[in-house]
Structure 1
Amino acid sequence: MLNGEKKIERPLRWGMVGGGRLGQVGYKHRIGALRDNTAFKLVAGAFDIDPDRGKDFGMNIGVEENRCYPDYKTMFAKEATLDDGIEVISIATPNGTHYEICKAALNANLHVICEKPLFFTSEEVLEIKELAEKKGKIVGVTYGFSGNQMLLQMRAMIKKGDIGEIRVVDLQYTHGFNATDDADKYSDAQKWRVDPKIAGPSFVLGDLSTHTYYMSQLIMPHMKIKKLLCDRQSFISSRAPLEDNAHVIMHYENGAVGTMWASSINAGCMDGHRIRIVGSKASLEWWDSNPGELRYEVQGKPIQTLVRAMPYLDDICNADERLGALHVEGLSESWANIYLKFAIAIDAKDRGDEETLSKLIYPDINAGLEGVRWVENCVRSANNGSVWVDFVEALDKTFI
C-alpha cells in the first residue's frame, strides 16, 4: 500500500509545457505528479501560448515569476543555466506539437512525460526512441486511466489462468459530449481535436481508443493483434476526414477475436469506458465509472464482485492501493500511480538501475509506439474501404 513515503531520494525538479488555464488536462498532470510530494516538485513552466496569461497562471499555482517562461525553447535554455534547473518536463499541448517539443527536451538532456497519442507516425516514435536511448532518458506517456490498480488484478488473474484461454476481447470508450458541433465552434480545446493538421490522422481513435488499447495490453501483455478492420464515421460532417465514431474488429494471433468501439457522439452517455475479457473458463469486466470493482464471472458459479484494497487481491494490485477499503479511489489516484512510476523509472534510469526498470509496469515510449501503430493501422484499414489489414509495425506516411 502507498502512503506517501518517498520512493526516490528526492523530488524531481519538474516543468510543464502547456497545461495552463484553458487546457483540459494540465490539472490532471499536476494532481498526478504532486499527489505524492516526494516524487515531483513543480518549479517552472511555459504554460500557455499567450505568455502573459501563462505567467499569470503559473504564479497563481505557486511557480516563481522568473520561472514562468513565454515558450518551451526559452525555458529549456534558461533552466539549463541554473543549478536547480528542471530535470523532467510534461508535455500537455495539442498533438501536433508533441514531436518537436519532445525532441527539443531530449536534446536539452531532460526526461519527458507526454500526452497521448505520442506523435503522428511510428517513424517519429522510433526516431525519438533512439534519441532517448542515446541520451539515457525516459519518455513516458500519460495513459491516465492505466494506473487503476484493478487492471493489475485482471493482469494477475489472466496470468494465473483463472479465466482460461482468452477467446473474446470487448473494448469500449465512448461518451456523448460531441454529439453536436457546439464544442467544435466554441471550445478551443475541442477545435484543434478535429483539425487534422493539429490532431493528426484521427479524432476518437487517437483521443479515446489509445487509452483503452494500452490498457488491454497492460492486462494481456501476451496477446498480439494479427489483423484488424476499422470502420469510421464523421457523423458531424465538418469533422471529416477525422472520425467521431469508429468500430474496430481484431483477430489475435492466438485465435481470439476482439472489438473496439470509440465514440464521442454516444448521445446521453456520461462514461462508456469498459473492458471485458472472455476466457474459456470465466470472464472479467471493468468499468471506469466504478473503477474500484472488478466483475468476475465463472461459468456455472455465482457472479463475484472483487473490491479494491481487499486482502484476497493479488499483491501486484494492492501495491498501488492508496486509501484503504471503504474509501473511494478514482482517476486522481490513477494519475498519481502512473506519475509515481514515472518518477521511479527516471530515478532508476539516472542511477543505471536496469533491474528496477525491467520490473516496472508503466506506459513508456514502447506503449506510446503501440498507440501510434494502433491509430496508423486503423486509419489504413478505414481509408482503404474498411478492409482487413495485417497489423504491421510501421507504416509509410502515405497511408495516412
Structure 2
Amino acid sequence: TLIAEEAKRDDGVEVVTVATPNFSHYEITKALLEAGIHVICEKPLFFTVAECDEIGALAERKGLIVGVTYGFTGHPLVHQMAAMVRKGMLGEIRMADLQYTHGFNAGDDANASEAQKWRTNPKTSGPTFVLGDIGTHLYYLSEMVLPHMRIERLLCDRQSFIKSRAPLEDNAYVLAHYDNGAVGRLWVSSVNAGNMGSQRYRFVGSKASVEWTDSHPDQLIYEVQGEPGRILHHGMPYLEAESLAVDRMGALHTEGLGDSWANIYLWIAQAIDAKIRGDEAFLATHHYPGIDAGTEGVRWLEACVRSADAGSVWVDYDPAATRTKSTETQDA
C-alpha cells in the first residue's frame, strides 16, 4: 500500500532503501521497481542468481537503478589499493588473503534477539549465515581491487559450531584459484571469541604487498621487496588521485565507516541522477555497487554452498559470469 500510494504522488519518493531481513529483499525490490522507484538494497541481494537476473532485467526495462550497500568500499585507502594494483606497483598479483571475523555469536542462541534469530534461520536468511552476512563484503572489495582477475575454482569448508544454527554456518574458510594463477584465502566467522569485529585485506604481488584493515582505516601498509616497510596515511598528496578523490576529512582527521557509507550513497545517488537525465555516457564509466555487483555476490555464495554441501570439494566457478558493473568501470 505504501509503495502504491507513493507512486501516485507527483512529489513521491524517488528512491527507497531496503534494509529488511534477507527473505523480503526480492519481493520489496520488485514491487518498488514496478512502481517506478529506484532501490538501494542490503546484501546479500537475493537468494538466487535467477532472482538477481530477473530483477536486473526489470530494472533495465524500467530505466531504474538498484544500488547495493557494500559500505566498506567507500574508504579512500581501498581505492588507493585498487589504483596501486592497476598501475602495476605490486607487480603480478599472486595472493589475496581476506578476513572478516567477530565473536558476537560465540555463545548459543538461547537469548538471541529477533535481529539475530532471522539470520540463523534458512527461511529468512537464505542458504548462508556469515558467508552472506559479512563474507560478501570481503568478496566484493577484493573484486574492486582486483578487477582484472576472475575466480576459476573455489573450495568452501563451513562449520556450525553452535549446532542449532545448522545447516547455516557461523564459521567458514574459502580457498580460490584465479585465472592468472593467483590463489586466495578467505576466513569469515562470528564465533571468533573475544574479537570485536575486524576486517583485514592483504594483496601480494611479485614486487610488493599492501595490507589494509577497517580498524585502522586511515593507514595502508605498503611493503616493497628489499625495501623498508612503509605506512601510507589517507589524505596525503603522495597518494594516487583515485584515493584523494574520495577523501572527505583530510590527512589530520580520521575517516570512519560513516564517511565510507556516505561515499557509497553519493555514488548511487549520482547514478540515479544520471539515469533520470538519460546520461548513459556517465553511467558507462561511473563506479558504484549496483545490481551486477549484488548478482556476483549471490553467484559467489551459490558456489560456496555447492562446494561445502558436496563435502568441501573444489568446484568450478560459473565460467559465464560477467564482471560486475563497478569493476568494469574501474578498468575503464
Largest Rg, 1 or 2: 1
Quote the residue 2:186 is aligned against.
260
Within the alignment, does 1:347 sit opposite 2:282 as a pair? no
Q: CA deviation at 1:245?
A: 0.3
**Residues 308-343 of structure 1: CA deviation (Å, up to 9, x unaligned):** 011111111111111111111110001000000010
Q: Which amino acid aligns with 1:340?
A: L
Quote the residue 1:359 is aligned against.
285
Structure 1 runs (4+) deviating above 6 angstroms are none
Q: State the distance in 2 between where 1:316 and 1:281 align.
A: 21
Q: 1:187 aligns with which of 99, 113, 116?
A: 113
Structure 2 spans left out of the alignment, 5+ residues: 322-332
SS at match of 2:12: coil
Quote the residue 2:324 is aligned against.
none
Quote the residue 1:162 is aligned against.
89
Aligned Cα root-mean-square deviation (Å): 1.2
**Residues 245-280 of structure 1: CA deviation (Å, up to 9, x unaligned):** 000000000000001101000011112311000000
Q: 1:285 aligns with which of 191, 204, 211?
A: 211
**Residues 288-315 of structure 1: CA deviation (Å, up to 9, x unaligned):** 1011111000001011111101111111
SS at match of 1:273: strand
Quote the residue 2:61 is aligned against.
134
**Residues 14-67 of structure 1: CA deviation (Å, up to 9, x unaligned):** xxxxxxxxxxxxxxxxxxxxxxxxxxxxxxxxxxxxxxxxxxxxxxxxxxxxxx
Q: Which amino acid aligns with 1:349?
A: K
Instruction: Flag the 1:331–1:205 CA change in 2: closer, same or farther, 3 A.
Output: same
Within the alignment, does 1:306 sit opposite 2:232 as a pair? yes
Report if aligned partners of 2:156, 2:304 keep a CA contact under 8 Å in 1.
yes
Q: Which amino acid aligns with 1:346?
A: I
Q: State the distance in 1 between where 2:291 and 2:128 align.
A: 20
Report if aligned partners of 2:72, 2:260 keep a CA contact under 8 Å in 1.
yes
Q: CA deviation at 1:354?
A: 1.4
Q: State the distance in 2 between where 1:196 and 1:97 align.
A: 13
Q: Which has the higher contact order (CA 8 A, sep 6+)?
A: 2
Aligned length: 321
Q: State the distance in 2 between where 1:196 and 1:324 align.
A: 44
Q: CA deviation at 1:393?
A: 5.9
Report if aligned partners of 2:152, 2:319 keep a CA contact under 8 Å in 1.
no
SS at match of 1:185: coil
The within-5 A match list for 1:191-206 is: 191-206=117-132
Q: 2:70 aligns with which of 143, 153, 178?
A: 143
Q: CA deviation at 1:180?
A: 0.6
Q: 2:246 aligns with which of 286, 295, 320?
A: 320
Q: Which amino acid aligns with 1:281?
A: K
Q: CA deviation at 1:372?
A: 0.1
Q: State the distance in 2 between where 1:314 and 1:273 align.
A: 23
Q: State the distance in 1 between where 2:21 and 2:319 align.
A: 25
Instruction: Flag the 1:313–1:154 CA change in 2: closer, same or farther, 3 A.
Output: same
Quote the residue 1:334 is aligned against.
260
Q: Which amino acid aligns with 1:152?
A: H
Q: Which amino acid aligns with 1:140?
A: G
**Residues 142-201 of structure 1: CA deviation (Å, up to 9, x unaligned):** 01111111111111100110000000100111000000124x633111000000000000
Report if aligned partners of 2:97, 2:201 keep a CA contact under 8 Å in 1.
yes
SS at match of 1:98: helix
Q: State the distance in 1 between where 2:167 and 2:287 align.
A: 35
Report if aligned partners of 2:210, 2:223 keep a CA contact under 8 Å in 1.
yes
Instruction: Flag the 1:199–1:394 CA change in 2: closer, same or farther, 3 A.
Output: farther
Q: State the distance in 1 between where 2:10 and 2:319 align.
A: 42
SS at match of 1:137: coil
Q: State the distance in 2 between where 1:385 and 1:250 align.
A: 16
SS at match of 1:277: strand
Q: State the distance in 2 between where 1:153 and 1:195 align.
A: 38
The within-5 A match list for 1:207-218 is: 207-218=133-144
Q: State the distance in 2 between where 1:393 and 1:196 align.
A: 27
SS at match of 2:111: helix
SS at match of 2:238: coil
Report if aligned partners of 1:123, 1:394 keep a CA contact under 8 Å in 2.
no
Structure 1 spans left out of the alignment, 5+ residues: 1-73, 396-400
Quote the residue 1:241 is aligned against.
167
Report if aligned partners of 1:373, 1:393 keep a CA contact under 8 Å in 2.
no
Quote the residue 1:47 is aligned against.
none
TM-score where L is the length of structure 2:
0.95
Using the aligned pairs only, state the percent identity.
63
